[in-house]
A and B are shown apart, each in its own frame.
Chain A
């Protein structure tokens, strides 16, 4: 394992498989009455969130606490960061407090990379979403969820639909799924696919209907409010008609295929309520799996080499 988790591209097939297998072991904890392991007792995990993200933060917080780590939540709002403190000074402060791992969410692409390579801080850095760059633990939890339902990712067809241009979830998923052997197709209007997409390890299409045939998993991406009036597409209704997943489209999917969404959903926009609440939707399960995967990441980054469950009775 690497010391930091900055990009899904950092993970080899072996690394990714180890994380997913470890998460599998840890997931069994949730079936127990006491959901806590002593593994990271005495270690400090800082959740450094420069952007609001209650979901991701509480997922990391739950993960760290179930491993008995001390958790410090550092939110940019209401902290010295909002008074203009630099990333550097924040990092030096955390270093002085002895953070063993820093989970960072930042609006600037590359901020976790900068933190990891600056020499400002010695602990492990976990990218919890940076700008429009990557969100590797989301990709890991997505892969974990798919692997559970589809037994393997090797040769499985995964369709990712929506605002790829601005999506850190899409970037990390494409990289990780390629490593794990899945065939990924990105579907979006041409305005929401980045220049240079031809060099990505995946296919892409402008047409949702033709892409859904034979899909083992369909992942719908959130349409951000700020894209809606910036000429990326003519109207929300047109987007929904052309790229939204509704009951009719879902009905054409193979019986075994699953529907995913990283949340939070715009019901009625990229996904209809009918689909979101259907049997195929594994969206709530993704949240559950997020905790297990993040436990595995923290455990492995902070030096766990034995079985993850050692120390549990």
Chain B
């Protein structure tokens, strides 16, 4: 945010725009100043030229769902370290979930997170406001105050916990209409998932781990889309994980209900078979499901039933994962591997092209969060929020090089199909080759 230093200009040579035709791009004054042959003309002696031949240029990615842990668990992540992870992962905007300590359920806390994001300056950090006081599920937090605060909150979520009370959910859905907000539901019927440790199915039966049945997610989504339809509200569903959820969403969208949904990279890529190792890096909520679910989620994302990829980046300290399964915390980091996993799960498989990846990872999430200046086309005059992706060389995930404070990645040693190599936030280079730019 330091406005003092004169902004550097960048000439990006030969980037494949949305995976299509290659053009030069000139970034100046926070904007895409020129594209094509005009770009070179605008370069001056202070312009840094980047060779981007063979790289894919997408609009900066927008994450609807991260946990940056600050305030409260700065040992696991801070807004600054999470912003760094986001920048090297190709993100120019992230939403920070409300389940911090204290909970982001007041204008004061969301403004604190917002200011921390501005100070870090590596990506735009949008705090998500809690729906209920203390995520307690019993009384509404001051949603309007958070919406009107400097943080300009538009997404409200008790993520980590489900707004399970149907009346409270209805009221929240209705109330946020006044400021064009949206409730992002963590769909998990609490009674059906008491003590749940993993997906309920063949593997949980063998491993003797208490099951988290698909119906616990699907029943809440079914209820919520009906509620949203009834009161004419907008609903967003967090981290959809089952084939049945995709069917319900498809039905609801067919009925014209204003619902959007996200899926995580890990639910597109990993299955509950991995839990046979009892390795807590695979412990996550909602849990890893079956291959049938993975296939349905991929199809749902491809056909647009699922609108967005969101990482659910959930850093945990080593001691919260270096233990027996039942004692381990749920969650995995995801910001730095999202592009690679999506490329492996969706692009290499032919389910999405890069333009569609831009749609699911930038355009639609920006629309859902009502973000201006993010998820925009790559065109002259648009904000210079960009990521350059190397999809020609496979890379091996090395957790020791990650910028997140936590290393609870399930992909250590995995070979992924793509990697972001440079990220620009309003014309400023925020990350290059896995390192943030000072």
Contacts and interface: CB of A to CB of B under 8 A. Distances in A.
Interface of A: 86-88, 106-111, 113-114, 117, 130-134, 168, 171, 194-197, 199-200
Contacts of B207: 109-110, 133
A80 B91 CA distance: 45
B278 A113 contact: yes
B211 interface: yes
A264 to B, nearest CB: 20
Contacts of B326: 107-111, 131
B205 A108 contact: no
B206 interface: yes
Nearest to A110: B278
B208 A132 contact: yes
A195 B325 contact: no
A111 B203 CA distance: 16
29 contacts: A86-B322, A87-B324, A88-B322, A88-B323, A106-B324, A108-B326, A108-B327, A109-B208, A109-B209, A109-B325, A110-B209, A110-B278, A110-B325, A113-B278, A114-B323, A114-B324, A117-B278, A131-B208, A132-B210, A168-B208, A171-B206, A171-B208, A194-B204, A194-B205, A194-B211, A195-B211, A196-B201, A196-B203, A196-B206
A133 B278 CA distance: 11
Contacts of A195: 200-202, 204-205, 211, 213
A171 B326 CA distance: 19
B317 to A, nearest CB: 12
B21 interface: no
Interface in B199-239: 200-211, 213
Contacts of B325: 108-111, 114
Q: Give the residue among B203, B205, B209, B319 with the most A Cβ atoms within 10 A.
A: B205
Contacts of B208: 109-110, 130-134, 168, 171
B64 to A, nearest CB: 31
A87 B323 contact: yes
Given A196-B203, A199-B205, 12 more contacts: A87-B323, A88-B322, A109-B208, A109-B278, A110-B278, A110-B325, A111-B324, A114-B324, A171-B206, A171-B208, A200-B205, A200-B206
A114 B213 CA distance: 25
Nearest to A130: B208
A199 B273 CA distance: 14
Contacts of B203: 196
A13 B137 CA distance: 53
Contacts of B322: 86, 88
A194 B206 CA distance: 9
Given A110-B209, A110-B278, A113-B278, A199 B324 contact: no
B218 to A, nearest CB: 15
B318 to A, nearest CB: 10
Contacts of A197: 205
Report the 5 A-B pairs with minimum CB-CB distance, sorted nearest first.
Answer: A133-B208, A110-B278, A196-B202, A194-B205, A108-B326
B38 to A, nearest CB: 59
A310 B210 CA distance: 45
A131 B326 CA distance: 10
A116 to B, nearest CB: 10
B334 to A, nearest CB: 24
A117 B202 CA distance: 23
A110 B278 CA distance: 6
Contacts of B277: 113, 117
Nearest to A193: B205
A87 B201 CA distance: 28
Nearest to A170: B208
Contacts of B327: 86-87, 108
Contacts of B211: 194-195
Interface in B88-127: none
B324 A196 contact: no
Nearest to B319: A86
Interface in B163-208: 197, 200-208
Contacts of A134: 208
B278 A114 contact: yes
A196 B325 CA distance: 21
B144 to A, nearest CB: 41
Q: Give the residue among B200, B207, B322 with the most A Cβ atoms within 10 A.
A: B207
B276 to A, nearest CB: 9
